[in-house]
């Protein structure tokens, strides 16, 4: 079953979640090449006084990416978010995604992210303003609710559909849960039965089998993968293969993984430059090393974490991979 977002038909039901500090341009391009049906940018606040910052410069660079390009915007004011959406189109957006899922304090303290779910009238105002401001599809990412006693995602899903939202992605936790405990899928299942737009299930989907299990239970149109992609971007092709054939894909050969990993680290270095590239590559190196060799990663990490020159970092990591 394909997912339709406005004029765009996705060729895979496994989507990359927007994650601050992870779903940057090098990682999005990698995940798309490995079978992600859609990738969405890190959350951006597109305001004039922020556009000249390094963070915005990197987050709003989509040159060379495969369409459709989905840009996630954040904020707490309907007019500002509508203006952000208009600007996002000038940066290449084919799809606008609105963030009502981030539980981070610095976001929620500004009444943005999942904090917005407390005010259903404001949610309606924001969704209508953004949808009316652009001629491209608008999607919404949210949680099951604000707290265990206030799981209002079904109400917001109805508001979203009426406002013209083209797809919903729902993380199976409340804002209060953050990333603790197990994600639950009952509310996602309930929403699927109540709306006619694609609903994407998100939260604790760590394997092809789990993806199938969640889709069978919820009847959602697809799954969105977040933290399980860190160190394992091959999860997209594994899920896609299993959903389409009913068979577990053959393991990706280690030598193929090594080439993919080193190319990704190289892309990070080239995109961000020497200083930032070296620092941002560190977490990916740790994630990859943990995924490939969990029992011996600490000793290697202690040595590479102190390196301050990008070429040395790359060569040390390459030597480490060659020893596996």
Q: Residue 273: count other Cβ atoms within 10 Å of its Cβ.
A: 11
Catalytic hit among 102, 157, 215, 321: 102
Whether 102 is catalytic is yes
Task: Label each residue of the chain as H, E or C.
Answer: CCEEECCEEECCCEEECCCCCCCCHHHHHHHHHCCCCCEECCCECCCHHHCCCHHHHHHCCCCCCCCCCEEEECCCCHHHHHHHHHHHHHCCCCEEEEEECCCCHHHHCCCCHHHHHHCHHHHHHHHHHHHHHCCCCEEEEEECCCECCECCHHHHHHHHHHHCCCEEEEECCCCCCCCCCCCCCHHHHHHHCCCCCCEEEECCCCCHHHHHHHHHHHCCCEEEECHHHCCCCCHHHHHHHHHHHCCCCCCCCHHHHHHHHHHHHHHHHHHHHHHHHHHHHHHHHHHHHHHHCHHHHHHHHHHHCCCCCHHHHHHHHHHHHHHC
For the annotated catalytic residues, the residue numbers are 102
């Amino acid at each position: 079953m394909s997912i339709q977002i406005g004029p765009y038909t996705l060729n895979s039901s496994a989507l990359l979640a927007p994650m601050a500090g992870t779903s940057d341009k090098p990682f999005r391009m990698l995940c798309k090449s490995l079978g992600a049906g859609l990738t969405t940018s890190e959350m951006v606040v597109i305001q004039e006084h922020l556009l000249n910052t390094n963070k915005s410069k990197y987050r709003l660079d989509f040159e060379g990416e495969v369409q459709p390009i989905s840009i996630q915007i954040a904020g707490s004011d309907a007019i500002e978010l509508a203006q952000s959406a208009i600007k996002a189109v000038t940066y290449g957006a084919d799809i606008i995604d609105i963030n009502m899922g981030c539980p981070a304090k610095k976001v929620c303290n500004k009444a943005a992210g999942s904090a917005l779910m407390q005010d259903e009238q404001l949610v309606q105002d924001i969704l209508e303003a953004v949808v009316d401001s652009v001629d491209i599809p608008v999607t919404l990412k949210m949680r099951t609710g604000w707290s265990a006693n206030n799981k209002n995602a079904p109400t917001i899903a109805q508001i979203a559909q009426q406002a013209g939202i083209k797809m919903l992605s729902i993380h199976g936790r409340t804002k209060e849960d953050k990333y603790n405990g197990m994600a639950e899928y009952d509310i996602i299942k309930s929403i699927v039965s109540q709306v006619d737009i694609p609903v994407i299930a998100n939260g604790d989907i760590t394997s092809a089998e789990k993806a199938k299990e969640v889709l069978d239970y919820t009847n959602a149109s697809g799954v969105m993968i977040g933290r399980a992609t860190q160190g394992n971007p091959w999860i997209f092709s594994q899920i896609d293969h299993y959903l389409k054939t009913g068979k577990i894909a053959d393991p990706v050969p280690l030598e193929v993984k090594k080439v993919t990993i080193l190319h990704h680290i190289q892309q990070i270095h080239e995109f961000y430059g020497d200083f930032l590239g070296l620092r941002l590559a560190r977490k990916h190196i740790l994630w990859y090393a943990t995924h490939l060799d969990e029992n011996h990663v600490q000793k290697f990490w202690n040595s590479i974490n102190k390196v301050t020159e990008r070429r040395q970092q790359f060569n040390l990591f390459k030597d480490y991979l060659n020893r596996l």
